[in-house]
Amino acid sequence: MSAMGLPTTQPYDLPSAGELPASRGPWQVETGRAALLVHDMQNYFVRPFAADAAPLGPAIANIARLAAHCRQKGVPVFYTAQNGDQDRRDRGLQADIWGPGMSSAETDQAIIAPLAPQKSDFVLVKHRYSAFQRSNLEVLMRARARDQIIVTGIYAHIGCMMTAAEAFQRDIEAFFAADALADFSREKHDLALDWVAGRCGVVAGTDQLIAALA
């Protein structure tokens, strides 16, 4: 991978329930406490994946299942989405690592159609790796008595992992939806799962999370 831009991602299988790392956190997700985060599922970030192959295809399907279930159960659904054509001063050090980023065209900036936000959802502007940075995510969660966050989306070992870590540091219990995430490779995906499970969150599959939120 070059220092700028996103790498082309080769297909890989999502981890199965039997492959998930044991989590140090003892928490159980609860309908009355949880919020769902759909992280950075924009055209620009999705483009490096093979559209219909794993991990992206099944990850999108699992995010959609979680979102539909959460809406039905009254669990708030939050989205993050970066703005395109960012001013260099606003983009900050991200420009040094990833280049100028996306354009403001719908072909880059829009959230992908299969996961389009509903009227009841919240769409937050994403500024840095963590969804909590320079956003009112925590304020919106606390106002709704939510102290748990289910993290889905891309990329698992970057923004998703950073969001889970910051949730922990804000005393918000993080649940990492292992098969509703995607990454540059299975190696990076597993790295994120292992890191979160051992340090700041509970790693679980979509079926397990939906069953707990029944």
Reply yes or no on whether the pLDDT at 88 is more than 90: no
Neighbours of 118 (CB within 10 A): 9
pTM of the model: 0.93
Radius of gyration of the chain (CA): 16
Where along the chain do its domains lie?
28-212
Residue 2 has pLDDT above 50, yes or no: no
Q: What is the pLDDT of residues 36-76, one digit of tens each?
A: 999 999 999 999 999 889 999 999 999 999 999 999 999 99
- State how far the Cα of 75 lies from the Cα of 79, in Å rounded to an integer: 13
Report the catalytic residues. Answer: 40
Beta carbons within 10 angstroms of residue 37's beta carbon: 28
Going by pLDDT thresholds of 50, 70 and 90, the confidence category of residue 108 is: confident
Query: At residue 196, does pLDDT exceed 90?
Result: yes
**Residue 61 pLDDT:** 98
28-212 folds as Rossmann fold (3.40.50)
Structure confidence at residue 139 (pLDDT):
98
pLDDT in tens, 153-189: 999 999 999 999 999 999 999 999 999 999 999 999 9
One-letter amino acid of 143 = A
Residue 3 has pLDDT above 70, yes or no: no
